[in-house]
Amino acid sequence: MSDTSTIEAVRRFSRFYTGQLGLLDDGLLDSPFSLSEARILYELAHRRDLTATTLRSELRLDAGYLSRIVKRFEARGLLSRRSSPDDARQTLLSLTEAGHAAFAPLNEGSRQQVATLLEPLSPAQQGELVQALAAVERLLGAPAPATPYLLRPHQIGDIGWVTRRQAMLYAQEYGWDETFEALVAEIGAKFIKEFDAKKERCWIAEREGAIVGSVFLVRESDEIAKLRMLYVEPSVRGLGIGRRLTEECIRFARQQGYMTLTLWTNDVLVSARKIYQAAGFKLVAEDRHHSFGKDLVGQNWNLTL
């Protein structure tokens, strides 16, 4: 049996957390939805054809309470029902277009709220927090995510986020100054302005709704493509995300008929160089240079496709 101090510590954290996110407010994130209603919207927005039985079991809601919420959503046109083709006794619930539209500002508001909460923390502190939260979930029996991460194309706001995160991480890990941020911003801006969807790509790695890595493939010429700005968040290193992002670049470059995939890096980026070597890239040139406030050894690597 748990001792009194442990019980009180958990209760104290629960009060702190609910207060930080305003979970006890009448309307979550200044919306007309309660916390329970917002959670139901979240599950319906991210999963298809849920039954009321599944929702009730997973969210641990009273059957009558859930039924009333479902009826209100249906009356407002946020939700539709249809009979399950596998079991006529079960009804499948889905969000309508109006339901997705109602959920969108809630989802974005939640992202912004957490981003504001994390803003004062350094990258190292954020990584420590993520690890601590994962430990809490594991110790209290939360199931591991079925998919550790997903890859998606870039969206509005991604390039600015990637620029900021890379600037912060390289400053923390290697002591690089703001001129590196300027370089990354220039590369990102050029990618957006001159983006050729047939010959170029950006892959964003996302885990549980958060960006945890990215890479760009840009056209150098009809025969040469360039891999740029590979990065992975410290909190998810070890999941193979960097290797997967590199493999996606290689696969796409081959599909588009490029003959060579090239990249430029620095010898201090040991983990990235190991990924490139494992993928078959060969070192073709090195040069010493003073950039980003440091004396560095730049390296050019090529992969014949």
| Cα–Cα distance, 100 to 108 (Å, whole number) | 12
**Predicted local confidence at residue 229, as pLDDT:** 95
| Within a domain: 184 | yes
- Mean residue pLDDT of the chain comes to 86
Query: pLDDT digit string (tens) for 223-279?
Result: 999 999 999 998 888 888 999 999 999 999 999 999 999 999 999 999 999 999 999
Same domain, 99 and 166: no
**Predicted local confidence at residue 219, as pLDDT:** 96
| Within a domain: 266 | yes
| Within a domain: 142 | no
**Predicted local confidence at residue 173, as pLDDT:** 92
Domain that holds residue 284: 150-304
Dmax over CA atoms of the chain, in Å, equals: 71
Mean pLDDT of 102-123: 82
Helices assigned H by DSSP within the chain: 4-21, 35-46, 52-59, 63-75, 97-118, 123-139, 158-174, 178-193, 241-255, 270-278
Same domain, 93 and 211: no
**Predicted local confidence at residue 28, as pLDDT:** 65
Q: How many domains does the chain have?
A: 2
Same domain, 176 and 279: yes
Flag whether the pTM goes above 0.75: no
CATH code, domain carrying 180: 3.40.630.30
Worst-scoring range by mean pLDDT, 31-35, 142-146, 165-169, 279-283? Answer: 142-146
List of residues 6+ apart from 209 with CB closer than 8 A: 111
Same domain, 97 and 182: no
Same domain, 22 and 160: no
